Chains A and B, each alone.
Chain A
Amino acid sequence: MGAIVESLHVDFALARRNFDVELSFGLDHGLMAIAGPSGSGKTTLLRTIAGLERPMRGRIGFRDESWFDSERRIDLPPEKRRVGMVFQDFALFPHLSVRDNVAFGGTDRADEMLERMRLRDLQHERPVSLSGGERQRVALARALATNPLVLLLDEPMASLDPALRNEVRAELRDLLGEVAIPTLLVTHDFEDAAALAETIAVMADGKLLQVGTPSELVAAPRDGFVASLTGANVIKGRARAAGDGLSRVDLDGGHTVYSTDAAEGEVDVVVYPWDVAVSLELTQGSTLNHITAPIDSSVVFGNRTRVRLGPVVAELTSASSERLGLEKGMTAIASFKATATRLIPR
């Protein structure tokens, strides 16, 4: 095929309790996020690349450096692989100062990293007196100070105070933007992945399901799983052709919707919350699909509100929600276009 060998190439199979982690991909440059539910094998993937886990077979390496090759019996220990890793809980050495932590792998680039990550004023502090965001920066500086070929981040947002997430995430995004080496990041939160990375690979049960940009994944999810991971409504139903180029889908639970996708038989119906409008009265408009149901829940986050009625979740501005006086128990109408109704065969 004449394919260029990507800088980081990963191809292995490793047995886990319920499934095998089996994947093959490459990363040339930039940042790729691996998104998937807990237990899908994401952390195992990173640990295997770092050399902390040994696969049954496969090849892992960077350009012409071979870190693991089952056929050639190569298995370099972590200390011999030029991999920088940021652990989920940061794993900072509690008995060492920030400076000694960053300089642990070597003192050459320590000062530079302290400067880059704005840690110079904190360099004599111990990890215990740092905030979550500061610890993250120390972990990052420490990993980068060893001049690795690849940077791995395991759930970088997981051990942070939820209240500060947005702030830290923005900061992290900027910092990662300056990193020149290929970076792999795993997370269970699609929103984090979409915010931080240009490319996202969806992972479940040890396998990669789909790789693409965030908008590609949201717009064209390969299956219901990917769709639900990216935050879409996924409703089961049975489809059949209905004339006018439309399909009619009878949803489990009783409602009927139409879609511009062609499909027959059992399908996942995918509708994005922000494509769903909510009203109190049925009006004549361009939307074909209406679901009338009592409101089950209404959740506010910031200036947006997610309202669940019947099988569908709608996302609207909080202002609109208040204007309509939407409350739990009220009957309302969710409307969305047939063109916004995707069908994915099951």
Chain B
Amino acid sequence: MRWFQLLLIIACAVVVAFLLLPLVALFLRVSPGDLIAALGSGVALDALIVTLKTSAIAHLLILGFGTPAAYLLATKRWRGHSATVALIELPLVLPPVVAGIALLSVFGRLGLLGETMDVLGISISFTQAAVVLAVVFVASPFFVRQAIVAFEGVDTGLLEAARTLRASPWRVFSRVALPLAARGLATGSALAFVRGLGEFGATIIFAGSFRGVTQTLPLAIYGELDQDFEAAIAISVLLVLISAALLTAIRWVPSWNPFTLTSR
């Protein structure tokens, strides 16, 4: 079966090359000196601050609501269970632009909640809150999905054992389920965060683009593309580096394989 092995290797090489080449080309396009200079530019820094701020808040919301939601979905079953999961995964298959329109239809001035919000004096359009909402909408499925799998991967026997040891449902979650699901949760978290960093379509529709307020890194790339190509590349490289760093960081979180007692 040597030819089969060869086929596998070739296929793998093609995939790696295809994914690597654009990134390498990106890095080759600009010298490190220009990179640093462009990064120090006002646009890049403003975009970085906006991105970090909105991504951080969005991420806290995703983790805060997503973790308990995933735990419930992983440990209990009810009649509408699969429908609920399908619903949560919906934004995954939605084109970001459509997500932006959908958000406008709810939170926009003329949207479903528009009048109510107007009365309450709340206005979301063109604010950082809008960016946060857009990021939460498109990135949360990445986390929740992974989190469900992570919690499902925890040996139910351990959860039951905890219960016989007088642990309240909260204690079972916090001292057994959570630590053992940590790796999966970290993976989901990194994926969601990275997805949120790169969010473009929904943001530009729902929040608009204004430097220092709503112009995130991806929006800045788009904006600088036609004016200062070098700056656009620099910001792109920055995004790639942040994403790569996050994905690598996952490896430090201990993973508990349910079939052995070891952590990888």
Contacts and interface: CB of A to CB of B under 8 A. Distances in A.
Q: Tell me, yes or no, whether A and B come into direct contact in the complex with CB atoms closer than 8 A.
A: yes
Interface of A: 50-52, 77-79, 81, 83-85, 87, 89, 91-95, 104-106, 126-128, 142-143, 146
Nearest to A130: B261
A77 B166 CA distance: 10
Most chain A beta-carbon contacts within 10 A, residue among B162, B163, B167, B176: B163
Interface of B: 155, 157-158, 160-169, 175-176, 179-180, 254, 256, 260-263
Nearest to B168: A79
27 contacts: A50-B164, A51-B163, A51-B164, A77-B163, A79-B164, A79-B166, A81-B164, A85-B161, A87-B160, A89-B157, A91-B155, A91-B157, A93-B158, A94-B180, A94-B262, A94-B263, A95-B179, A95-B263, A104-B162, A104-B165, A104-B175, A105-B165, A105-B166, A106-B166, A128-B260, A146-B165, A146-B166
Nearest to B176: A93
Contacts of B180: 94-95
Most chain A beta-carbon contacts within 10 A, residue among B162, B164, B176, B262: B164
Contacts of B168: 79
A91 B166 contact: no
Contacts, number: 63
A81 B158 CA distance: 17
Nearest to B260: A128
A183 to B, nearest CB: 15
Contact of B167 (A85, A92, A105, A127): A105
Contacts of A95: 179-180, 254, 256, 263
A104 B167 contact: yes
B87 to A, nearest CB: 30
A83 B166 CA distance: 9
Nearest to A47: B160
B60 to A, nearest CB: 25
B162 to A, nearest CB: 7
B76 to A, nearest CB: 14
Given A126-B261, A127-B261, A128-B262, A91 B160 contact: yes
Nearest to B258: A94
A327 to B, nearest CB: 43
B11 to A, nearest CB: 36
Contacts of B161: 85, 87, 91, 93
